[in-house]
Each structure stands twice: as structure tokens, then as C-alpha cells.
Structure 1
């Protein structure tokens, strides 16, 4: 089995559903690991957490699998991942990653803009925004955010992210049209997730253009 076939399910919901059907126990553990890596390692912001959660919820809904205990496992993976990322940001390794360019500067700037606007609640809001959710806990640690405040926003954000996306998949995945167009539907979820970040970046770009004449 080659690398592409082994991990093709990451971006192919039909392949993910087939993998979960054939190997449910280790498949759900693998999904939890992917969530941990996406939220826990600042260098892996490209992993598809949103679509995986929705597809897993859809599979449980179609298969009649009670979702509660599996959501607890996914929730734990997401919360521990964010805490690891935060801890890396607080450590000397965090400064090294930034200095060496392992973390893209434009990703840092986008996430920093969210911190400026929303403060600590960015940790909760970021859960629903690809890339930002990976960079936010790292920046929180890098900036020295209080551990207790971070823990509060981390747990709240992790709960909302897991619960809303898994339960959306659990109930909507039973609809025939959604089953037949699962990849298209999850793509729509990802696009909706990205819209707040795109809108905020557009506003920052527009404001910077308006400020340029005044600075001359």
C-alpha cells in the first residue's frame, strides 16, 4: 500500500467512510490522532479537522453508533492538542520555530489580528477557522497568556467544535442527498469556516489601504 492510498481518506470522505466501516475501532482513534496533530503542532495547519468531524458524525448517524463516548475521545484529543501547542509557544522552542521560519509569518499576522480584536476568546472562536485554530494556541503561549484563561477558552472551544460538527454530521448525514454528496457538503462546511477569516483579512486590507494616504 503506497502513501497516497494509505492517507487518501484525509481528503476523500467516501474513502474515510469506507475506512471507518472496515476498521471502526482504530479508524476513530486515527481521526482523534489527526485532530491532536492539527491542534497540537503549529507546523501542521493544513490537516482537515472540520471535514473529518462532520464525516465521522455522518458515519455514526448512518450506522446507528451512539456518538457520546466517541465525542468525549475527540474532545480530549482537541483539548490536549491545543494545550501542547500552547506549551510549545511558551517554551524556547516556540521562539526558535518563529525565528527559523517554520511558522509562516502571514499565518501569525492573521491570528494576531484576531487576538487584537477578540482577545482571549480567539482561542474559542479559532476552533472554527482553519489555520487560525492551529496558530492561535501557539501564539497564546508565545505571548504569555495566563494558563487558567487559556484552559477556560480551550475547553469551551473544544467542546463547541466537536459537539456542533459531529452532531451536524450525525443528523444531516442521514439525509439521502447529503449521503450522495458528502464531499460537496463537507467542502461547503470548510468554505463557511474560512469565510470569517477571509472577511476579517479583507477588512484589514481595506483599512490599511485607507490609512496609506494619511501616512504620506
Structure 2
């Protein structure tokens, strides 16, 4: 399958992907792709487009009775992936951040997003790591920016653990407790896309406000 088609299908229908992995890989190895996707989204600045929120929610649905995934194991695997991913991202930035930014090879790491994250850190400090957990794209870049000089590692890890626990716990548990409702089952793809849309709202609102501010300034 074409990689782009694979990621688009995963974004729009993660339930089918997880169901296929459970059948193909079994109840233990199924956690390998789940771990890798969340780790890559949070740990590698090349993959900000991976579907973290919707994947957590969909996996939570499979932790209900008979779903094929254990709730405790799912929470633990995703938490480890989220924390280790952010930690990897921080150290990549600490060691190679300036060269990566100056190369211009990561097109999604735009000057505007860098400035916006600078403002986040100036306003919220370490809470930026927690807040951006719930913002696609920005959650990939926030630990990178932190590693480029905004935070000491000890403080970063404190907020990294808190943010990872809140992010993973909220989406997985919502899927666990509400994913089995008939309405959710009948409209699953629409709900997944709604989760993605709601997650993107803060970034869209910020972009609109920035555009309006630039227009007024000119």
C-alpha cells in the first residue's frame, strides 16, 4: 500500500487498522505498531501528521470487554511511547536542533510555528509541554523547541510525564467508557474526524488571529 494512503486510512479509520493488527499480530505484538506510531509522532519532527488523538481513542474502544486489548497494558504502552517520544525529541533538538532548523528540510517546522511556540513558552513556561499534548503538530514541535534552550531537562521531564499521563489517559479512557455506545459505533468515522477537527481548532484559531493581526498592522 502507498504510504500516503496508509496514513490517510489510519487517520480516518484507526478502528479497522487496530482490528487488523489484533488479528494479524496477536494480543501482545499488536502493541508494537501502536507504540511506534505514538513514539514517532511525539519523538520525530519528521512525523507531525501521525494520528495520535484518534489512535488513542480507537485503541481505548478495544480495551472494553472482549475488545482484544487490556486497558492497563494499553495505558502503559501509550504512556511509555508518549514520554519516551518527547524525551527523544528533546535530545535530538539539544544535539542537532540548530542544524535541523537551518537545513530547511522540515517544511512543517515553519518560522511562524517556531515563533508561536516561543510565545507559548514565554507565556506558559513548562505548561507548554502539557498544553501542546492536546494540539496536533504542535505537540511534535514543543519538545523540540524545549530542547533548543527553553527548558532544563529536569523541568522538562516533570511536565513531560504529567502531559503524557493526561493525554493518554483522557483519550484512551474516553474510548474505553464510551466507545461501545451504539451511537459511537454507528458513527465512528465521523467521531474520529471530529476529534481531529477539534484538536486542530486551537492551531487554526491562532493562525486566523495571527493573520488578522498582520493585516491590521499593515
Length-normalised TM-score, structure 1: 0.88
Q: 1:29 aligns with which of 28, 32, 36?
A: 32
Residue 207 of structure 1: how far off its partner (Å): 2.7
Question: Which position in structure 2 is the counterpart of 1:46?
Answer: 49
Mapped partners of 2:21, 2:4: distance in 1: 15
Question: Are 1:153 and 2:153 an aligned pair?
Answer: no
Question: Which position in structure 2 is the counterpart of 1:121?
Answer: 127
User: Aligned ranges for residues 90-169 of structure 1 at < 5 Å?
Assistant: 90-91=94-95, 93-103=96-106, 104-105=109-110, 106-169=112-175
Residue 6 of structure 1: how far off its partner (Å): 9.7
Mapped partners of 2:127, 2:105: distance in 1: 25
Mapped partners of 1:204, 1:116: distance in 2: 17
Question: Is contact 2:117–2:142 with CA below 8 Å preserved after alignment?
Answer: yes
Residue 144 of structure 1: how far off its partner (Å): 4.3
Post-superposition Cα deviations, 1:13-61, rounded to whole Å, max 9, x if no partner, equal 2422421441332222211111011111011101111111000001112
> How many residues get paired?
210
Residues 116 and 205 (structure 1), Cα distance of their counterparts in 2 relative to 1, 3 Å cut:
farther
Between 1:47-56 and 1:137-146, the stretch displaced more is: 137-146
Post-superposition Cα deviations, 1:37-94, rounded to whole Å, max 9, x if no partner, equal 1111011101111111000001112535541232012101110100110011111x21
Question: Is contact 1:172–1:178 with CA below 8 Å preserved after alignment?
Answer: yes
Mapped partners of 2:165, 2:15: distance in 1: 26
What SS does structure 2 have at the residue aligned with 1:63? coil
The CA RMSD measured in Å over matched residues stands at: 2.1
Q: 1:79 aligns with which of 62, 70, 83?
A: 83
Mapped partners of 2:211, 2:119: distance in 1: 11
Residues 70 and 18 (structure 1), Cα distance of their counterparts in 2 relative to 1, 3 Å cut:
closer
Between 1:56-65 and 1:132-141, the stretch displaced more is: 56-65
Q: Please list every run of 5 or more consecutive structure 2 residues that lacks an aligned counterpart in the other structure.
A: none
Mapped partners of 2:150, 2:124: distance in 1: 16
Mapped partners of 2:15, 2:41: distance in 1: 21
Question: Which position in structure 2 is the counterpart of 1:61?
Answer: 64
Mapped partners of 1:147, 1:182: distance in 2: 39
Question: Which position in structure 1 is the counterpart of 2:10?
Answer: 10
Question: Is contact 1:62–1:174 with CA below 8 Å preserved after alignment?
Answer: no
Question: Which position in structure 2 is the counterpart of 1:211?
Answer: 217
Residue 120 of structure 1: how far off its partner (Å): 1.9
What SS does structure 1 have at the residue aligned with 2:45? coil
